[in-house]
Amino acid sequence: MNASKNLKKLIFKSILLLLTATGLVCAGVYFFGGQDGAVANLPNEAQFLDATWIEVNERARSGDPESQYLVALAFHNGYRVQVNMPRAFELAKEAAEMGIPHAAALVGAMYMRGEGVPVNEQEAEKWLLEGAEFGILEAQIDLMYLYRNRRNSLNANIWHSVAESYGMKPDGYVMLLPTQEMQNAVDRGISETMQRIEETRRTFCVSNPSYISC
């Protein structure tokens, strides 16, 4: 059982690396590396790619939500298929509704940008929050921009600080806060948000130990 879960996690991480342009060799070295970073039994790159992609598609067709998200990402980015935003949205939404945080982040981004679905800021906020509160940097950044566009200085500043703590490069943008009271509210919001992310991830990973970020 544990071996099966580990294989699923390996497959999910491998394809996610490929789809996000990190690179096949990087994926192969990461998952098949020996001790001290030495490569051990690194498969042929093309064979690794083919086998992994076939496995993900089979899992997606059987209703596995993590694999559905990966296929959605493939349609979104044009990986091995023609870009098809409506299909990407359909699959991502199914996976998000089954509790996949990365899928929620993708759904929110697509609602925000009108990719395969009409722009809907309320739906974008809902799904981006789900991804952002799992600790997904891309969702945190999108949420920050969503609040900036709304001139919501409180939430924009909260998510700006949270995103920076998760690796966003400083962008030099400052949304000035009119009062010290507002600054205090931002500071409290940052602390509460970071605690919420930690608790959300901990709770999710207890039930889903094979998930990519667990």
List the pLDDT tens digit at each of the 214 positions of the chain. Answer: 444 455 555 556 656 655 554 333 333 333 333 333 333 333 455 565 666 778 888 889 999 898 899 889 889 988 888 999 999 999 999 999 999 999 999 999 999 999 999 999 999 999 999 999 999 999 999 999 999 999 898 999 999 999 999 998 877 666 777 788 888 999 999 999 999 999 999 999 999 888 877 8
| Pairwise CA distance, residues 43 & 95, whole Å | 30
> Where along the chain do its domains lie?
60-207
The CATH H-level superfamily of 60-207 is Tetratricopeptide repeat domain (1.25.40.10)
pTM: 0.80
> What angle (nearest 5°) sits at the alpha carbon of residue 103, between those of residues 197 and 7?
90
